[in-house]
Amino acid sequence: MRKLKKHFLALADGSIFYGDSRGAAVDAVGEVVFNTGMTGYQEIVSDPSYAGQFVTLTTAEVGNYGCNPEDMESRGLFLNGLVVQELNEPSNFRSTGSLAELLSAGGVPALAGVDTRRLVIRLRSDGTQKAFLHGSEADITPEEAVRRANEWCGLDGQDYATRVSVTEPYEWNDSGDLRVVVYDFGVKYNILRQLAAQNLRLTVVPAGTSAAEVLALHPDGVFLSNGPADPAAVKGAIDAARTLIGKVPVMGICLGHQILGIAAGGSCGRLKFGHHGCNHPVQDLRNGAVAITSQNHNFALDADRIPGVLEVTHLNLNDQTVEGIRHRHEPMFAVQYHPEAAPGPHDATPIFREFRDMLER
State the catalytic residues: 254, 338, 340
Crossing angle for the helix pair 235-244 and 255-263, nearest 10 degrees?
70
Q: What is the DSSP string of 290-306?
A: EEEEEEEEEEEE-GGG-
Least Cα distance to 299 among 335, 336, 341, 253 occurs for 336
- On whether the CB atoms of residues 49 and 255 are closer than 8 A, the answer is yes
Phi, psi for residue 14 in degrees, rounded to 5: 100, -5
Query: Are 352 and 297 in contact, with CB atoms under 8 Å apart?
Result: no
DSSP string, 132-172: EEE-SSS---HHHHHHHHHHS--STT---HHHHS-SS-EEE
Cα–Cα distance for residue pair 78/66, rounded to 1 Å: 19
CA 153, CA 176: separation in Å to the nearest integer?
Answer: 43
Q: Report yes or no: 221 and 250 within 8 Å, Cβ to Cβ.
A: yes
- Whole-angstrom distance, CA of residue 6 vs CA of residue 3: 9
Longest dimension (CA), the chain: 69
| 3-class DSSP state of 100 | helix
Which amino acid, residue 21? S
How many Cα atoms are found within 13 Å in the side-chain-facing hemisphere of 359?
Answer: 24
Distance CA 244, CA 240 (A): 6
How far is 235 from 317, CA to CA, in rounded Å?
30
